[in-house]
Structure 1
Amino acid sequence: MNTGSSIASSAEMPAAKRRPRLWWRVLGIALPLLLLPLLLGLGFWQLERAAEKRQLEANWQARSALPAQTLVSLEGQRDLAYRRVQLQGRFDSEHTLLLDNRVRDGHPGVEVLQPFYDQRSGLWLLVNRGWQRWQDRRELPRIHTPEAQLSLTAWVYQSHETPLQLGAAPSQGWPRLVTEANPQTLWQRLGRAGFAYEVRLTPGPAALDTRWPPVNMSPAKHTAYAWQWFALALALLCLSAWQVVVSYRGARHAAR
């Protein structure tokens, strides 16, 4: 009896050992194939984003060449992005917003946004005067604001991406340090009738560093990210093919 049971146990051992190996091989084939559609989807999504950015850059180029309009003439137009506007009025230096976490040329800084009353339309606008370097984080940067009446040229900025939040900023007192500029929220707090979008100055009176990029991320970067996703998909596909070959060779060897 003991001899028979030992023979039966020795016959069952190879099959029991092969089962875990078989599951690992199946998993090694199935998992890459399951991830493949996700990686391909991310790659094509990045290509779509690149096409959108190219269209935005084309709009920027086309509308930058058009003459500036008054704010009243923009009423009724749906697509206001990059539209140039001519403003005439004064800044409100008492309610300055400092948009934090803005780095240029490796230097930390802020973007300076101030309410501007446009006499032609009777509306307030949140004007982004540009970037200013912030050397000492222990003190807020000093902002010089022209007191005289000004004639300014700006363009309408509409963000097409969710802003990146890099930490909380103080929200009390003026100037106010913020991580996101929201004109409508500001007008509600101040009880003013204002334009719904931020406008950014072109070089001229009251402008700081106005080297504005038309888009936050270039089409070339989106295309590069797309090829990275496609490369990962190709690597997984090669891994699945290798697992199939190994499993096939293992099955032929076991059948001999």
Structure 2
Amino acid sequence: MMTSTTSPRVHRLLRGWWIAKHLFALIIFVTLITLGFWQLDRLAQRRAANAARLAALSQPAIPLTPATDPATVIGRRVVVSGTFRNEESVVLRGRRSDSGVDGVHLLTPLQIAGSDQAVLVDRGWIPSAQGAATAYAVTRPVTIEGIARAPQVRPDSPLAGRDLPLPGETRINAWLRVDVPAIQQQVGAPLLPLFIEQLPDGSSALPRPPDPYRLDEGPHLSYALQWFTFAGIVGVGYIFLLRQELQRR
């Protein structure tokens, strides 16, 4: 006597087009979760950078001279004396004050005392580039304290903005970044391969350096929560869809 056997029937949710749907939903879910953790990683990097900045502010200022190795002072407080080369001032466009008012930053070469070399100093925010070189000229010798920063070279991307002179101008008076090698072409003294972000001296006069302790963590946490929320919506929504399909006869 022969007995017949029948293979178990595969559920429709594990066949054909449904498998493709499962894979698509899984890819979307994993992608959203990955983006959320990526933003959390960026938040951790931002917090580490803020902690490093605060640590640098707590260290004694290092005297800056032409003989100083830039690698030893980048990110540290430095102090330097000299005379501003006011006629060679430029501005950094698209800057805001601590209170959120649009304006520019004034960038002036400082001729280092007893040297033929200079260093660029970001002196802080002013409301307009109009007449900046003369309106905020300082002719007396000064001592500047600030944070040494690496040059901001233009990214190697066709989408990155270029620093170009305006029509009718022979030099670039407004820059997007502190591109020391490029700015060197219109400064009469050799520039150190760094620039100084001047620290506030307690005065309310212009230019107004930004508050170095005014740090934020950026939007990374809110972005992470958004990606995780989207992942939750996709997960719950897909489970609801499967339940509906299972209830169909």
Give the TM bin, normalised by the shorter chain: 0.7 to 0.9
1:200-232 C-alpha deviation (Å, 9 max, x unpaired): 1112389621124568x8326322211111111
Which residue identity lines up with residue 225 of structure 2 in the other structure? W
| Conserved? CA contact 2:108–2:123, under 8 Å | yes
Q: 1:64 matched to which residue of 2?
A: 57
1:184 lines up with 2:176 in the alignment: no
Q: How many matched pairs?
A: 225
Partner SS for 1:94: helix
1:84 lines up with 2:77 in the alignment: yes
1:110-167 C-alpha deviation (Å, 9 max, x unpaired): 1111111223665321100000113xx8x5556311111111111113489x999789
| Conserved? CA contact 1:131–1:209, under 8 Å | yes
Q: 1:156 matched to which residue of 2?
A: 148
| Conserved? CA contact 1:101–1:109, under 8 Å | yes
| Conserved? CA contact 1:33–1:236, under 8 Å | no
1:201 lines up with 2:193 in the alignment: no
| Conserved? CA contact 1:114–1:129, under 8 Å | yes
- In the superposition, the TM-score normalised over structure 1's length comes to 0.72
Partner SS for 1:53: helix
Partner SS for 2:34: helix
Unpaired runs of 5+ residues, structure 1, are: 1-21
1:86-108 C-alpha deviation (Å, 9 max, x unpaired): 11111111222211112333422
Q: Separation in 2 of the partners of 1:191 and 1:28?
A: 66
Q: 2:117 matched to which residue of 1?
A: 123
Q: Separation in 2 of the partners of 1:29 and 1:177?
A: 54
Of residues 83, 92, 100 in structure 2, which corresponds to 1:99? 92
Name the Cα RMSD after superposition.
3.5
Give 1:246 deviation, angstroms. Answer: 2.2
Structure 1 residues 76 and 113, CA gap change in structure 2 (3 angstroms): closer
Unpaired runs of 5+ residues, structure 2, are: 1-15
Q: Separation in 1 of the partners of 2:196 and 2:88?
A: 16
What fraction of aligned residue pairs are identical, expressed as a percent? 23
Partner SS for 1:111: strand
1:21-65 C-alpha deviation (Å, 9 max, x unpaired): x85x66654433212222222211111111112112212222212
Moved more, 83-92 or 101-110: 101-110
Give 1:184 deviation, angstroms. Answer: 2.0
Q: Separation in 2 of the partners of 1:177 and 1:31?
A: 49
> How does 1:49-60 map onto structure 2 within 5 Å?
49-60=42-53
